[in-house]
Amino acid sequence: MHEAKVVVTLKKSVSDPQGKAILNALHSLTFNEVQEVRTGKYFEIRLAGEDKDLLEGKVRQMCDQLLANPVIEEYSCSIEAKG
Amino acid sequence: MKCSVVVFPGSNCDSDCFHSIRDVMSQPVEYVWHKETTLPPCDLVILPGGFSYGDYLRTGGIARFSPVMREVARHAKTGRAVIGICNGFQILLESGLLPGAMLRNRSLSFRCEYVSLRVENSGTMFTKNFKKGEVVKIPIAHGEGNYFCDEKTLAGLLAGNQVVFRYVTPNGAALDSANPNGSADNIAGIINGKGNVLGMMPHPERAAETILGSQDGKKIWESLLECLK
């Protein structure tokens, strides 16, 4: 059994209206050190199987086909064995 | 003009589109459930507005995998007409039948109001009854209609005259203040290179009868009827 963790965010070149709104809210809470906020989506995916490399390849396929939209988003993923 | 209105779980403008075609245009129309693996013989496929799959993951991001979408792509590939309205436009983008993607509205607000649109291309089967440059009044209702594409794609759309509608002021100026969602280049609707797949955020089916406040949207159905009958 493995667990993959996937983070999908908007590309740097794409504006993030939610991130901007959160940035403004943080500023109004006087967290004036905040320079930028980027929002994203987080997925935990439990996978059957022992071959980590194979499973990581599958997770990347999932990202490419469904979890992220390559026009506007990028993703990172990590995978580890779970008992 | 035989029409099919695709119904996804969460579509909510399907009956408006159906009514518009059957009762306003007096044309044959049927609903097609998204699980269908075939389309009835038809000239026009309508992907209606709504919140398919509750907008989970991304707007239109799951609906694109509905079985019927394979048939919609095939229908489009043979040169027959497809119109995606609002969520239907989002589904066309997610499925790659049109280029680009939708972001949250710049204001983060759901915008439900009449907007002024300028008809940028009146040479399409969807818009031949408009005059080029004509300003029309059609409502929008969306939270994610902020059209985005990279610069190369935008240049391609402009070069191919594929921007069909832009958000403008009532007197026809494409100003930032007339842009309700932050769309690139005030884009409200685009067409594919072949000219048979149109996606637009505004709802022509909500502006097809005087009782609704505008008949401007009806011209899209009338244009199609002349081209497809």
Which sequence positions of B are flagged as catalytic? Answer: 86, 203, 205
Q: Tell me the average pLDDT across B224-228.
A: 96
| pLDDT reported for residue A53 | 96
Tell the CATH topology of A2-81.
Answer: Mth169; Chain: A , (3.30.1280)
| Domain spans in chain B, listed from the N-terminal domain onward | 3-228
- Rg of chain B over all Cα atoms, to the nearest angstrom: 16
**Minimal CA separation from A33 to chain B, in Å:** 24
Judge whether B81 and B45 are in contact, CB under 8 Å.
Answer: yes
Q: Tell me the average pLDDT across A61-69.
A: 97
Please provide the average confidence, as pLDDT, over all residues in chain A.
96
Domain B3-228 class, CATH top level: alpha beta
Q: Tell me the average pLDDT across B177-181.
A: 98
ipTM rounded to 2 decimals: 0.87
Model confidence at B110, pLDDT cuts 50, 70, 90, reads very high
Chain A residues whose CB is inside 8 A of the B106 CB are 15, 17
Smallest Cβ–Cβ distance between A69 and the set B61, B99, B108 belongs to: B61
| pLDDT reported for residue A83 | 76
Using alpha carbons, select from B75, B49, B219, B18 the residue that is nearest to residue B145.
Answer: B49
Q: What digits encode the pLDDT tens for the residues B194-223?
A: 999 999 999 999 999 999 999 999 999 999
Look at A10 and B108 and tell me if their CB atoms are within 8 Å: no
Q: What digits encode the pLDDT tens for the residues B114-169?
A: 999 999 999 999 999 999 999 999 999 999 999 999 999 999 999 999 999 999 99
| Beta carbons within 10 angstroms of residue A57's beta carbon | 12
**Minimal CA separation from B171 to chain A, in Å:** 29
Helix/strand/coil percentages in chain B, nearest 5: 30, 25, 45
Task: Report d(CA B62, CA B47) in Å as an integer.
Answer: 14
| pLDDT reported for residue B126 | 98
Residues of A near B (Cβ–Cβ under 8 Å) read 10, 13-15, 17-18, 21, 41, 66-67, 69, 71-72
Q: Strand B101-103 to strand B3-7: parallel, antiparallel, or no bridges (unpaired)?
A: unpaired
pLDDT at A8 over 90: yes
Residue B106 in contact with partner chain A when CB distance is under 8 A = yes
Distances (CA, A) of B199 to A63, B56, B100, B145, B204: 25, 21, 11, 11, 11
* Residue with the two structure tokens 């505008």: B214
Q: Tell me the average pLDDT across B17-33.
A: 98
pLDDT at B229 over 90: no
Task: Report d(CA B169, CA B228) in Å as an integer.
Answer: 32
Q: Tell me the average pLDDT across A41-48.
A: 97
Chain A residues whose CB is inside 8 A of the B58 CB are 69
Model confidence at B182, pLDDT cuts 50, 70, 90, reads very high
Look at B104 and A17 and tell me if their CB atoms are within 8 Å: yes
Model confidence at B100, pLDDT cuts 50, 70, 90, reads very high
On the 0-12 / 13-18 / 19+ scale of CB atoms within 10 A, B22 is middle
Judge whether B90 and B59 are in contact, CB under 8 Å.
Answer: yes
Which uninterrupted H or E stretch holds A2?
strand A2-10
Distant-in-sequence, close-in-space partners of B34: CB < 8 Å, separation ≥ 6: B6, B7, B8, B9, B52, B63, B66, B67, B68, B69
Model confidence at B94, pLDDT cuts 50, 70, 90, reads very high
Q: What digits encode the pLDDT tens for the residues B12-24?
A: 999 999 999 999 9
| Domain spans in chain A, listed from the N-terminal domain onward | 2-81
Please provide the average confidence, as pLDDT, over all residues in chain B.
97
- Determine which of B55, B58, B64, B91 to mutate to test the interface with A (most A C-beta atoms within 10 Å): B58
Judge whether B19 and B45 are in contact, CB under 8 Å.
Answer: no
Which uninterrupted H or E stretch holds B146?
strand B146-148
Model confidence at A81, pLDDT cuts 50, 70, 90, reads very high
Residue B111 in contact with partner chain A when CB distance is under 8 A = no
Sheet holding B197-200, edge to edge: B29-33, B3-7, B44-47, B81-85, B197-200, B187-191, B163-168, B111-119, B135-142
| pLDDT reported for residue B122 | 98
